[in-house]
Amino acid sequence: MRAAHEWAARIFFIGRGGMMAPRYLFICPNLTAPSGGIAVLYDCVSILRQAGYDAFVVHEGPGIRYPLYPEDVPILYTLKTRQNRIGRIGMRARPGYGAAILRDRITGAKDRMVHLTERDVLVAPEFMLTDVIDSFPGQPKIVLSQNSFAYLDSVYTLNRFGLDCDDGVIANIGISRSCLEAFDLVGGRAPHYVPVSPNLSLFDFRETKSAKIAYMPRKRPEEAVLIDRALRQRGRIGQFDLCRIDGMPQPEVAAHLGDSLIFISLMKAEALGFPAIEAMASGCIVVGYTGFGTEEYFDETTGFPITEGDTAGLVKTVEAVVAEYAADPTRLDAMRRRASEVVRTRYNPQRFRQALLKTWDAISSNTQGGQG
């Protein structure tokens, strides 16, 4: 452990002297479906490169690029995390896994494959922390946590395999209060706070709304079916339509949220929860689960948080909101305006950029960061 931190300190010392600047490698899964978390990793690389840092996205195989990201950020790849995963889960758990890795090794562009040196610092998303620590012991690492639950799951897995969750870690970064609290629980270096920003440029506040209730079923698919059916069958939402948002490109999501008066939050085990932020920014009345981490912005002043698991209470609250809005929309219109202002102020791109660059300046100076 001490050797790893001394190694990291040597990198930064040489970098400050102008001889060797660190190269920051953001490890990223081979996921091409819509993902706010992966978009944030790409955002970080883009912002850091604009500021003069040597930063790259590193996927787990050749030819991978997150298709929904609008900018052209440089991509490298590694096969080592996938190779080491076989050792933990076993070949039988993933038929054809080894053959796919061999194929990528043969066909992948050799000049895009990562070969680590002393100047390389790995930025590990919390859900890949086990892979990164297992695959690159001793290499300097920055942990970027966008979900406190996934981070703690990684810590549990590392403990189970006898691996040190602080191996080579030179900095911890969290995007929300719950992420910072998880770092504090585990111990180690004081975390930096970087409040990320979803792409709210697509999600304009809409004053005039349609009689539409939107929801995203991905985190709670079975409960979503029950809620949809109950709202339709009980007959207490008048002429409101129900809109299932699932697997859509972001512009289409933004169009539905802009049109919908009510958004049912089915978030679960979240650190921040982009869906509720986007819905509030769009002027929706948000009813539903906070997923815990979103409580820093989703409360009784910005929406209708429902106790975890209270499906009946959620349905009844949606019905009550429909009834109140029909009788007198004044209070609810004021609530949705306030909610939009809160999320736009707290999670704006400029604040994200400033916090990220301030954090990287502290890390690059090899200083201990605070929560900012």
Q: Is residue 372 domain-resident? A: no
Phi first, then psi, for residue 337 (nearest 5°) are -65, -45
The reply to whether 252 and 176 lie within a common domain is no
**Residue 359: both structure tokens together:** 């954090």
Let me know if residue 306 belongs to a domain.
Answer: yes
Give the other-Cβ count within 10 Å of 65's Cβ. Answer: 15
Instruction: Please say if the pLDDT value at position 101 is more than 90.
Output: no
Give the three-class secondary structure for 20.
coil
Query: Amino acid identity of 45?
Result: V
Residues 228, 179: one domain? Answer: no
Tally the domains of the chain. 2
% residues pLDDT > 90 (the chain): 71
What are the φ and ψ backbone dihedral angles of 28, each rounded to 5 degrees?
-140, 140
Q: Residue 187: which of 165, 203, 207 has the closest Cα?
A: 165
The confidence score (pLDDT) of residue 144 equals 98
pLDDT reported for residue 90:
64
- Can you tell me the mean pLDDT for 240-264? 95
- Domain residues for the domain of 333 are 200-346
Same domain for 144 and 285, yes or no, is: no
Return d(Cα 206, Cα 159) in angstroms, integer.
48
Residues 46 and 117 in one domain: yes
Radius of gyration of the chain (CA): 22
Cα-flanking dihedrals φ and ψ of residue 76, to 5°? -120, 180
Residue 65: partners with Cβ closer than 8 Å, 6 or more residues away: 59, 75
Q: What is the pLDDT of residues 328-371, one digit of tens each?
A: 999 999 999 999 999 999 999 999 999 999 999 999 886 333 44
Q: Establish if 369 belongs to a structural domain.
A: no
What's the 3-state SS for 127-173?
HHHHHHHHHCCCCCEEEEECCHHHHHHHHHHHHHCCCCCCCCEEEEE
Whose CA is closest to 259, among 275, 279, 287, 230?
Answer: 279
Confidence of residue 67 (pLDDT cuts 50, 70, 90): confident
Distance CA 333, CA 340 (A): 11
Name the token pair of 176.
Answer: 């929300």
Position 104 in a domain: yes
In-domain check, residue 371? no
Query: Which pLDDT tens digit goes with each residue over 281-316?
Result: 999 999 999 999 899 999 999 999 999 999 999 999
Asked, for residue 48, whether it belongs to a domain, the answer is yes
For residues 68 and 205, membership in a common domain is answered with no
- Indicate whether 57 and 156 sit together in one domain: yes
Are residue 10 and residue 158 in the same domain, yes or no? yes
- CATH number, residue 309: 3.40.50.2000
Mean residue pLDDT of the chain comes to 89
